Amino acid sequence: MELLPTEPVSPTPIVAIVPRSRTLPLSPGRIAWQTTVDRETHALFEELKALLAHVVPTGDMASVLKRALQVAVEQEKKRKFASGVKCRSQRSEATTRAIPDAIKQQVFARDGAACTFVGADGKRCGSTWRLELDHVLPVALGGETSVENLRVLCRAHNQFESERVLGEAHAATAT
Ligand SMILES: [Zn+2]
């Protein structure tokens, strides 16, 4: 009897069995994380672990992750609240100039880094997710880039307001 060359057995697709990510509260203040990462993420983690050896000598995964998240959050906050806030109400090329950092910081400080949109029920949105700066009077309608004419809105409310204001202006000129 002739022996057939054995077929290479494909490895069990672990990813299909284990959920990709899982968060499990263990006790008040402790949460178990389980996730699957690619090689690049693993290499980045190992690199950071080595770089942080003086701060986290044990290489404890939770401590290294905490450090990475702290740095990332700080960096994203800076980008969002200082130099990277987009102005979605701006339409023409002439109005896409950056808002000076000093103005951005004042507006965010005044508005408490949360969406200032007030709904029909009188409740403020207050979202801190995807914040943008909005010209109360759009630049296209002669609005200035000043602390007084800027406000913090979440992305959804910025789009909503931008369409409403420009829509009203369009309706006014059409009549
Ligand atoms: Zn909002």
Check pLDDT > 90 for residue 3.
Answer: no
Query: Residues 67, 135: one domain?
Result: no
Predicted confidence band at 109 (pLDDT cuts at 50, 70, 90)? Answer: very high
Query: Residues 68, 92: one domain?
Result: no
CA–centroid distance, 40 to ligand 1, in Å, is 36
Give the pLDDT confidence score for residue 89 in this predicted structure: 46
Tokens of 78: 């800076």
Query: Residues 76, 146: one domain?
Result: no
Evaluate whether residue 7 is within a structural domain.
no
Structural domains in the chain (count):
2
pTM: 0.47
Query: Residues 93, 111: one domain?
Result: yes
Tokens of 11: 């490895």
Evaluate whether residue 50 is within a structural domain.
yes
CA–centroid distance, 19 to ligand 1, in Å, is 33
The residue to which tokens 């408490």 are assigned: 112
CA–centroid distance, 30 to ligand 1, in Å, is 32
Query: Residues 65, 143: one domain?
Result: no
Is the Cβ–Cβ distance between 148 and 101 less than 8 Å? no
Tokens of 104: 């951005």
Check pLDDT > 80 for residue 78.
Answer: no
Dist. CA 151–CA 88, nearest whole Å = 12
The residue range of the domain holding 166 is: 85-174
Check pLDDT > 60 for residue 16.
Answer: no
CA–centroid distance, 94 to ligand 1, in Å, is 27
Longest dimension (CA), the chain: 93
Dist. CA 111–CA 108, nearest whole Å = 5
Mean of the pLDDT values across residues 111-131?
91
Evaluate whether residue 147 is within a structural domain.
yes
Query: Residues 102, 159: one domain?
Result: yes
Percent of the chain with pLDDT over 70: 78
CA–centroid distance, 57 to ligand 1, in Å, is 43
